[in-house]
Amino acid sequence: MIPVAFVPDRALLDYSRDLIRSLQTPEGAYPASPTFSAYKGFCWFRDGAFIADGMSAVGEVASVDAFFAWCARVVLRYRDDIRAAVDAAAAGEPLPDDRMLPARFTFAGERAGGGDWWDFQLDGFGTWLWALDAHASRHGSDLSPYVEAVAITVDYLVSSWKRACFDWWEEHDDRLHISTLGCIGAGLEAASRMGVLDLARADLAASTAATIRDFVLTDGVANGHLVKWVGSDAVDGSLTSLIAPLRFIPADHPVARATLDAVEADLVVNHGVHRFVADTFYGGGQWPLLSCFAGLARAALGEPERAADYLAWAVSTATDTLDLPEQVDGHLLAPDRKQEWVDKWGDVATPLLWSHAMVLRLAQELER
């Protein structure tokens, strides 16, 4: 039983639920941030899937159902593009990156368009499958409306998982990122057990997930821990998500503990987690959502007290109005680089719905 002192003030949890629910669009999309200039008006599959998982964990079933319905509509809207990518990969002539699906969409489910963005990412199409399965497992949701969208997404991921693409942070599109592979593998594994795929496709999803896990645990490991990308020996704060909540790397696997230890050694200061050592975005601050991922991983390892320390730090970043930011500047890796981003996009995104959702998710885990 986790001491009550480890659970944040109820006001922040209630505010987080209400904020996410109130900002969800009529189409079902979760905005990344309602006011931040670069995020306003867009929904990311990855961010949205983790937001949905947090809301599902605290029982916001209708909100989460609406988000997954939005995901399915987007996938079906671009079914022809997906089939073109699948066919091109099968022919040994993969489509160029700009013809692959983007990471972000308008609330109406359209490609964002206009301006340059670091858009080709595969992780979000894995996380929506994973989060859909987790939600159905919690609440007994009917998955029949998602049959076609799940099947198309599985085909896309099976055909494309070996491709380099931008990572969670929309950087380094020439690399195979281990966090991205974990998201894909977790999504394929989830899809294989949903009971909505034909037998051949379900088997292919499961076998591809197993292949990805084997690849991650060989090519994605250095010095006993997971690495940022294949060929690197550095870590990334996103790697802890593969332990929990994605559970793609079993918590009892030696790599899990070694990865957490390496992240803590290189990226954690007073339980605030940096993205990676070379981060310069807004000076390279600490991200509440990454602290929540680290806390979930520690909880999965059977260390709730250590998990609670991460939750307490994340909660401490809330503003006087209870808004949680994308990152804070109490410990910057590159302080001389902060102002250039402020000049470009304004102050740090606040609130960030993903941060609020991860506090909900970790608090629920500790309460449970």
Point out the residues that are catalytic: 167, 170, 326
Residues in contact with 286: Cβ distance below 8 Å, sequence separation at least 6, in sequence order: 269, 272, 273, 274, 327, 328, 330, 331
Radius of gyration in angstroms for the set of CA atoms belonging to the chain, rounded to a whole number: 19
Task: Confirm if 225 and 262 have CB atoms less than 8 A apart.
Answer: yes
Backbone angles phi, psi at 148, to 5 degrees: -70, -40
Strands 268-269 and 286-287: unpaired
Q: Retrieve residue 333's tokens.
A: 């890796």
Specify burial of residue 80 (Cβ count, 10 A radius: 0-12, 13-18, 19+).
exposed
Task: Round to whole Å and give the CA distance between 107 and 42.
Answer: 6
Task: Round to whole Å and give the CA distance between 235 and 224.
Answer: 11
DSSP designation for 331: S
Task: Round to whole Å and give the CA distance between 246 and 14.
Answer: 25
Q: Give kind and range of the element (H or E) at residue 46.
A: helix 45-57
Residues in contact with 79: Cβ distance below 8 Å, sequence separation at least 6, in sequence order: 148, 152
Task: Round to whole Å and give the CA distance between 359 and 310.
Answer: 10
Task: Confirm if 75 and 153 have CB atoms less than 8 A apart.
Answer: yes
Backbone angles phi, psi at 274, to 5 degrees: -80, 160
Strand ranges, E, within 225-267: 225-226
